[in-house]
Amino acid sequence: MTHVIQEISINGEKQRVPSPLTVEDLLRHLSIDRRYVAVECNRKLIVKQEYAEAKIEAGDFLEIVTFVGGG
């Protein structure tokens, strides 16, 4: 399989990741456990059931959030 690299933004930082890539691929690539995590791609919430199908394109802005301490 040809490994192409694409540049995307994750949590405000530019990152180079493989292409093609789904959200599921990305979380695996970053060793992120999907439990207690939520993902937005270009300001659109991606629900967990869609991770395997949701494609990430070059230039996409991703927010990957989780729970931290708060009142």
Partner 1 sequence: MATPITGVGGQADQNLEIGAHTFRSRLFVGTGKYQDLAVMREALAASGTDCVTVAVRRLQTGVPEGETLLDYIDTERYRLLPNTAGCFTAKDAIRTAMLGREAGMSDMVKLEVLGDPDTLLPDPVGTVEAAQYLVEEGFTVLCYTSDDPVVARRLEDVGVAAVMPAGAPIGSGQGILNPNNLRIILSRASVPVLIDAGVGCASDVAVAMELGAHGVLLNTGIALAADPVRMARAMKAASEAGRDSFLSGRIPKRLYASASSPTQGLIAGE
Q: Footprint of partner 1 on this chain (CB under 8 A)?
A: 11-12, 30, 32, 36-40, 43, 45, 47-48, 63-71
Per DSSP, the three-state class of 54 is coil
Q: What minimum distance in Å lies between the beta carbon of 30 and partner 1? A: 7
Q: What minimum distance in Å lies between the beta carbon of 3 and partner 1? A: 22
Report d(CA 27, CA 38) in Å as an integer. Answer: 11
Q: What minimum distance in Å lies between the beta carbon of 58 and partner 1? A: 21
CA 51 to each of CA 28, 64, 71: distance values in angstroms, whole numbers, following the listed order: 11, 13, 30
